[in-house]
Amino acid sequence: METCLTLSLPAVDLVKKYNVPVPRYTSYPTVPFWGNSLPAVAQWQEVLLSTFSASNQQEGISLYIHLPFCESLCTYCGCNKRITKNHGVEPVYLKAVLQEWGKYLALFPQKPIIREIHLGGGTPTFFSPENLQYLINGILAQAEVHPQHEFSFEGHPNNTTAQHLQALYDVGFRRVSYGVQDLSEKVQKAINRLQPLENLVQATQLARQIGYTSVNYDLIYGLPFQNPASMEDTFRQVIGLKPDRIAYYSYAHVPWKEKSQRHYSEADLPSDSDKLALYTLGQTMLSEAGYEDVGMDHFAFPQEELCVAQREGRLHRNFMGYTTNQTHLMVGLGVSSISDLSRGYLQNVKTVEEYYALLAMGEWPLFKGYLLTQEDAQMRRHILDIACNGKTNWQHSPGAELIREQVQPVLQSLAADGLIELGKEELVLTSTGLRFLRSVCAAFDLYLKKGTNNASAQPMFSKAV
C-alpha cells in the first residue's frame, strides 16, 4: 500500500445496517468462542516452544504485562481492574509476576530476546517509579533486548510523573499512551475520571523532554453527555498538543457485564446517529490536522511508525492492538493476561487471589486456552490481512472452497454496499469500508456466524459504531 487508508463519510443507511455487535479482532477465534477449558499441558507447551524456537532468533518475542490496580473507578471501564489506595500491594504483585515469568524462562530452551514490552492495566502508573523499574529489570535480567525493541506503557495524566517517565525511559521505554477519553468536565464527572487539561499538557511535555519518541492519546466517543460542541472542543485541545498517535474508540455500553456502567442510564448516552456524528467530527478534524487513518479507530501522522509499518506491509495486530512488529509469540503476564502463541492462546485467571494461590502451589496461573485448527489459521490470516493491510486474497489458500461456500455471499453484499472491491479471489477495502473494518473482517469469522443464531443471549461484543 502506498499510503495509509483514508475515510469517506458513510451513508446513514449503512450505519443502520452494519452497526451491530462485532469483535475488534485482537484474536481469532475471539475469546468468547474458546470455551472454558485449558488444553492439556503437553499440548500447549509444545505449541509454545515450537513458536518460541521459530521466532526468538528472528523477530524476538513480545510481553504484555497486566498491572490491574487503580486508585479510583472509572465507571465506563471494561478492563480487568482492582480498586485500592493501598500501595502495599505493589511489591507482592510484582514478585508474583516475576515468579510467573520464571516459569516461562524455565521452559524456554535458550535466553529469550525481547522485542516488545507493553504495560497495561488498570493503571500502570499506580506503581511507583522504583517498583516499575524493579519489574522491568527483573524481566530483562535473564533475557536479551532486541536492538529494534519497542517498549510502551499506559499512563494516567493525573499520576504520571517525571520520575515515572524517567525510570521507564532508563530501562528502554520510548512510547507512552495516555488515557484522555474526553476533556469535558461534565463528561469526566459522569465517568468519574476528573483530569484537568493542564495535567495532560504536563505529562505530554515531560515525556517529550525526557526523550519519548511516541505519545498516544486514547479518546472515546459515545460516553454520557457527549455532544458535537464538547467533542469539537476536546479535539481542538488534543490536536493542539500534537500527539503522534490517537486511538478514537467507540464506547462499549455493557452494563450487564460492568456494573459500574449503571451509574448513568442509556438516556444519557448519544444515540447511534449521534455517535456517528461524533466519530465523523473527530475523524474530520484529525484528517484536517494531517493525521491518517490506520484502521480500527487508530490515527497517526504519516511519518509515525504505525503508518510507516502499514505502508511497508509489516503492521500486525494482537491483544496489544496494532503493533509495528510481527512477533509470532506474545507472552501475557499478570492477572487476566492472554498469551498469543500464533497457533493458540492461553489466558490467566482473572482475580489476584487465584493468581497468587496458583503460583504459590507452583502451578501455572491459567484457566483457559485454545489451540487453532487449520481452518482457524486460514481465517485468521485473512482477518489480519484485512485489518492491517486493507486487503486479502485466497487464490492459493487451502480454504478457498470454504470461502466460496460460506464467505462469498457476505462479501458480495459488502461489495454491493461499497465497502469492498471484490475480485474473483481477492478483496480490497474501500474508503467507506474502512469505517466498517470490523464488519468486513467479520465476513471471515465462521464462529460469529454460528454465535449469532442465539438471538436471546446478551451481545458478546460492542457495536461497530
Q: Give me the pLDDT at residue 8, please.
A: 41
Model pLDDT, residue 465: 67
Could you give the CA distance from residue 176 to residue 159 in angstroms, rounded to a whole number? 13
- Asked whether residue 462 is domain-assigned, the answer is no
Indicate whether 25 and 35 sit together in one domain.
no
Residue type, 356: Y
Angle at 307 between CA 378 and CA 170, to 5 degrees: 105
Asked if residue 201 and residue 324 are part of one domain, the reply reads: yes
| CATH number for the domain harbouring residue 434 | 1.10.10.920
Residue 348 lies in a domain: no
SS3 category, 406: helix
Same domain, 279 and 398: no
Annotated binding site for [4Fe-4S] cluster: 70, 74, 77
Q: Do the beta carbons of residue 338 and residue 347 sit within 8 Å? A: yes
- Looking at the domain assignment, is residue 337 inside a domain? no
Residues of the chain where predicted confidence (pLDDT) is lower than 50: 1-10, 453-458
- This prediction has a pTM of 0.92
pLDDT value at position 150? 95
For residue 110, give the C-alpha cell. 535458550
Q: Does 255 reside within a domain?
A: yes
Confidence (pLDDT) at 462:
66
**Full residue range of the structural domain in which residue 405 is found:** 1-29+374-455
CATH of the domain at 316: 3.80.30.20
Binding-site residue set for S-adenosyl-L-methionine:
64, 76-78, 121-123, 154, 181, 193, 218, 252, 338
The reported pLDDT for the residue numbered 259 is 82
Provide the annotated binding site: 64, 70, 74, 76-78, 121-123, 154, 181, 193, 218, 252, 338
In a domain, 349, yes or no: no
Note whether 18 and 65 are same-domain residues: no
Whether 297 is covered by a domain: the verdict is yes
Based on the fold, state whether residues 45 and 13 are members of the same structural domain: no
CA 280 to CA 110: how far, in whole Å? Answer: 49
Among 127, 148, 142, 110, residue whose Cα is nearest residue 65: 127
Does residue 19 belong to any structural domain of this protein? Answer: yes
**Count of Cβ atoms closer than 10 Å to residue 158 Cβ:** 18
**Whether residues 132 and 219 fall in one domain:** yes
Domain shared by 279 and 175, yes or no? yes
Query: Of how many residues is the chain composed?
Result: 465
Domain count, the chain: 2
128 and 260 part of one domain:
yes
Residues 328 and 222 in one domain: yes
Q: Are residues 83 and 175 in the same domain?
A: yes
Location of C-alpha cell 512477533:
327
Within-domain flag for 355: no
Amino acid at 226: Q
